[in-house]
Structure 1
Amino acid sequence: MPKASELREQEIAQRVLRRWHDDVPNDRLAHLVKDATRVFLRALQHRLSQHDVQLGHWTFLRILWERDGITKRELSIEAGVMEPTTFAALQAMEALGYVTLERRPTNRKNIYVFLTPLGKRLRKTLVPLAEEVNAVAVQHLAAEDVATTRRALLVMIDNLTRDQQGIEQA
């Protein structure tokens, strides 16, 4: 018999599918992107949890795998979250042995974040899980459709970023 959490996930999935296929198939694009993001994250979260890694740590690990040794503030900006959120996640990640938080003798103000050997090794385990989620997501799509979707989403990101910058400068 499935666990209660599995039944809940199945119910959520069925509701999302029913919403888009039956209830509001032509709803706003923003809602579709939000729901697509939600199901991507659920699929990734399920895979990460099998390795006792929290979804909230995934974003920080991805950034640190590319730019190890950045400040807590830089990490917050890259992740798009507030510094208190980053600090709480980093404290948990430090307790798990994924990162160390250090101050440099020449700059006692900034806190620098470094991956531990364990944090670095997680990359080999976790990145294939994210690649698997992406592979599942694009099954039955032609390569040109995936490329078109990617281009379209990048244009939307550019447009909305420029729009937001214009609003902030006004």
Structure 2
Amino acid sequence: MTQRRDTRRLLHHWREAVPNDRLAHLIRDVARAQMRALQQRLSRHGVSFGHWTFLRILWIHDGLTQRELSELAGVMEPTAFSALKAMEAQGLVERRRLPGNRKNVHVFLTAAGRALEQRLVPLAEEVNRVSVEGISAKTVASVRRCLLAMIENLAADEAAQDSDGKA
């Protein structure tokens, strides 16, 4: 119930209070609304949004090191450690060192963690469908191209900033 009110308040904010606010804020708010919608669905399966992020990565790249996983998830290593410890306690992942490398801890899905993919991915697909409802496929494709171009622009700017800082 609170989530619906939050999203309605967000809609009012953008349509009436600050319709011309910065694009970055709008993008952030859309992402937050999508995350809330997904979290609502995931919670019915006992999965937090934070765990979803790690599961999603592991479904594609099982066996990553904890460090690689934290980098791909965009979280600090202590945050990843805590989440993975909880996921291990839930029987979703196992952490282990591989023979010949005692330093790195690798994370592997258990059968239960792997099985969640079939139940949870459709929930994310549903949120995507809901979020673009009533928007033409052409417009969705255009928005996708624009957002990717924005990422490319920001990546180029980041590289330029990095090279400026090293000189």
TM-score normalized with structure 2 length:
0.95
Equivalent residues in 2 for 1:102-141 (5 A)? 102-141=96-135
Match of 1:17 among 11, 36, 42: 11
Match of 2:73 among 66, 73, 79: 79
1:128 Cα offset (Å): 0.2
1:169 Cα offset (Å): 2.4
C-alpha distance in 1 between matches for 2:69 and 2:163 = 24
1:138 Cα offset (Å): 0.7
1:130 Cα offset (Å): 0.2
1:9 Cα offset (Å): 2.0
Runs of 5+ unmatched residues, structure 1 = 1-5
Report what 2:29 is aligned to: 35
The amino acid of 1:28's aligned partner reads: R
CA deviation digits over 1:121-154, x for unaligned, max 9? Answer: 0000000000000000111011000000001001
**Other structure's SS at 2:147 match:** helix
The amino acid of 1:86's aligned partner reads: A
Report what 1:70 is aligned to: 64
**Other structure's SS at 1:52 match:** coil
The amino acid of 1:10's aligned partner reads: R
Structure 1 residue 146 and structure 2 residue 143: aligned?
Answer: no
Match of 2:161 among 161, 164, 167: 167
The amino acid of 1:98's aligned partner reads: L
Q: Which runs of 4+ in 1 moved over 3 A?
A: none
Q: What is the percent sequence identity of the aligned residues?
A: 55
1:168 Cα offset (Å): 2.0
Q: CA RMSD in A?
A: 0.9
1:81 Cα offset (Å): 1.2
C-alpha distance in 2 between matches for 1:96 and 1:155 = 39
Runs of 5+ unmatched residues, structure 2 = none
Report what 1:61 is aligned to: 55
1:158 Cα offset (Å): 1.1
C-alpha distance in 2 between matches for 1:149 and 1:160 = 16
Equivalences, count? 164
